[in-house]
């Protein structure tokens, strides 16, 4: 029996944005991308504070990883806000720089979570049930996919891998929330304490994978000009 690996919508999907945007439509999309980034920043700040507090109270590695992921996602939103501020709004150099920074934000998450999960497994640390963490996970499962969908659509229209990558982080957050919810439920119902650390290791692996994909999205074929023009000098067929 074969299985098909889950593929998240990543920054490479921006290659479909080839048409020239009307300046008014472009400005409207930029305003929406910035507004969504501010909304994400506010939500992630609250989510991260609640998740880390709940993790410390429950001793949950997966929940702590979820809280740290919120901080990384907040950083990605700040990068998008930076990218669409002032003279950087139409700059392809700013876009490529923002993509790289978003990719790095994925890589920041993985090492800490992996070592903490391995340490918890070796020490056989048993997390306590966290109803606060369960409630927070349910909230993120509902909210994050909606933010991700909106950012992916705008990122594709603008040809902005940074915006699309920020949306992918929101989608990743929803997957992580589901994983944390499952691990907390298994611990509460069946006493499967190790599920917490296994989920945390999965979080680290997915973060590395998505960081790699987003970093690859720096090329001209992944991020066409925000004006729909080939200003990168790329002569590949996909750039024509």
Q: What is the mean pLDDT of residues 134-153?
A: 91
Number of domains present in the structure of the chain: 1
pLDDT for 146: 94
Share of the chain above pLDDT 90, in %: 15
Asked if residue 2 is part of any domain, the answer here is: no
What's the length of the chain? 240
Per-residue pLDDT tens over the stretch 70-117: 888 888 899 889 889 888 877 878 888 887 888 887 787 778 778 877
Lowest mean pLDDT among 5-9, 116-120, 229-233: 229-233
Q: Which of 38-47, 82-91, 95-104, 179-188 has the highest mean pLDDT?
A: 38-47
Host domain of residue 140: 23-239
Asked if residue 144 is part of any domain, the answer here is: yes
Asked if residue 29 is part of any domain, the answer here is: yes
Q: CATH number of the domain that 136 lies in? A: 1.20.1510
Per-residue pLDDT tens over the stretch 196-216: 778 778 878 887 887 887 787
Can you tell me the distance from the alpha carbon of 95 to that of 107, in angstroms, rounded to the nearest whole number? 19
Tokens of 223: 């991020």
Asked if residue 9 is part of any domain, the answer here is: no
Question: Positive or negative CA dihedral for 190, 115, 7, 17?
Answer: positive
pLDDT for 129: 66
Q: Give the ranges where the chain is alpha helix by DSSP (H).
A: 23-58, 61-83, 92-123, 131-158, 161-190, 194-216
Cα–Cα distances (Å) from 124 to 106, 119, 196, 201, in that order, read 28, 8, 11, 15
Please spell the DSSP secondary structure of 144-185, one letter per residue. HHHHHHHHHHHHHHHT-HHHHHHHHHHHHHHHHHHHHHHHHH
Asked if residue 217 is part of any domain, the answer here is: yes
Asked if residue 8 is part of any domain, the answer here is: no
pLDDT for 92: 79
pTM over 0.85: no
């Amino acid at each position: 029996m074969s299985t098909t690996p889950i593929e998240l919508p990543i920054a490479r999907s921006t290659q479909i944005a080839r048409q020239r945007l009307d300046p008014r439509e472009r400005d409207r999309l930029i305003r929406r991308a910035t507004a969504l980034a501010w909304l994400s920043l506010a939500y992630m700040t609250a989510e991260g504070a609640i998740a880390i507090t709940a993790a410390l109270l429950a001793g949950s590695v997966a929940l702590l990883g979820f809280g740290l992921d919120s901080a990384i996602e907040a950083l990605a939103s700040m990068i998008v806000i930076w990218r669409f501020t002032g003279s950087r709004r139409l700059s392809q150099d700013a876009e490529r720089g923002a993509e790289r920074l978003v990719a790095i934000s994925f890589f920041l998450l993985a090492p800490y979570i992996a070592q903490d999960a391995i340490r918890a497994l070796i020490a056989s640390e048993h997390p306590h049930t966290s109803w606060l963490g369960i409630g927070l996970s349910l909230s993120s499962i509902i909210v994050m996919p909606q933010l991700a969908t909106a950012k992916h659509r705008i990122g594709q229209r603008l040809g902005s891998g940074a915006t699309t990558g920020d949306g992918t982080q929101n989608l990743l957050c929803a997957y992580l929330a589901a994983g944390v919810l499952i691990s907390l439920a298994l611990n509460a119902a069946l006493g499967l304490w190790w599920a917490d650390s296994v989920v945390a290791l999965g979080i680290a692996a997915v973060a590395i994978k998505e960081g790699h994909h987003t970093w690859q999205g720096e090329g001209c074929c992944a991020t066409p000009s925000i004006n729909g023009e080939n200003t990168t000098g790329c002569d590949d067929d996909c750039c024509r």
